[in-house]
Structure 1
Amino acid sequence: MDLTTPALLFPAISLLLLAYTNRFLVIAQLIRQLHVKYQERAHDVVLRQIANLRVRVMLIRRMQEMGVGAFILCALSMFLVFIKLIFIAQVIFGFSIFMLVLSLLVSLYEIVISTKAIEIEMEDMVQSLQEQDR
């Protein structure tokens, strides 16, 4: 293992953290929109969306924590290679990859939950249309 091996993860982890930050910003915007809706009328759909968003915010925080942890371990691994502690660098690099994979799995779970939020909105629209047809 040389210095370039852990360096290969740097751009990937950086892009991943950027994607996580974008997901967080979108959720923050959704929460603000729901706050306005909630102030207009506390509705079952809004309450269900709030519960969904709480879980998603927590998951994104975990994704970011694991991504940052992977980034730190990757940098530490590079430093250990630099000072010629190759075996320890390999172990740390392995943990870095493991944290990155965990982060991606949590991201996948958050995506699944985000589709439930869309389903809640669609249920509300269908229900509103059915009430208008009556």
Structure 2
Amino acid sequence: MEITLTTPALLFPAISLLLLAYTNRFMALANLIRSLKSRYASTHSQLVYGQIENLRIRLVLIRSMQGFGIASMFGCVFCMFILFAGYTTIGKYTFGLSLLLLMISLALALREIQISVKALELELDDLEETSAP
């Protein structure tokens, strides 16, 4: 397999957009946590407390998603530096590691989405129980 300086650079736009999406998810969760915290303080509802616990898990996942995404970007830059220095074999392994880190980040994103959907299902179930005749 032939690898040039432009090969790792191809991932820059994709990783940048992923990191932006992860940051947007983080900001949305932070706002939601703040609103749920004040809601819990006034109601002491177990449902709200459960949602806050769910959001805590999601925050850890998002932090990990961002970390692996940043590590992937760093690996791509490092790979370009190594390729520029003329070490193509090490560059290939570095690029492969960057791809692996990106895959881990995406797998964590999938898990975070699954948890998010589960939380929404619980919210809908609660809505159905309260509105049932």
For normalisation by structure 1, the TM-score amounts to: 0.94
Matched letter for residue 48 of structure 2: V
Output aligned runs, 1:25-104, within 5 Å. 25-104=27-106
SS in 1 for 2:17: helix
Q: Which 4+ residue blocks in structure 1 deviate beyond 6 angstroms?
A: none
Aligned position for 1:119: 121
Q: CA RMSD in A?
A: 0.9
Matched letter for residue 130 of structure 2: S
Aligned-residue offset at 1:48: 1.0
Matched letter for residue 75 of structure 2: L
Aligned position for 1:17: 19
Q: d(CA) in 2 for partners of 1:3 and 1:44? A: 54
SS in 1 for 2:101: helix
* Residues matched between the structures, number: 131
Matched letter for residue 97 of structure 2: F
Aligned position for 1:2: 4
Aligned position for 2:110: 108
SS in 2 for 1:5: helix
Matched letter for residue 115 of structure 2: I
Q: d(CA) in 2 for partners of 1:25 and 1:127? A: 30
For normalisation by structure 2, the TM-score amounts to: 0.95
Identity %: 47
Q: d(CA) in 2 for partners of 1:16 and 1:110? A: 14
Q: d(CA) in 1 for partners of 2:46 and 2:11? A: 44
Aligned-residue offset at 1:127: 2.3
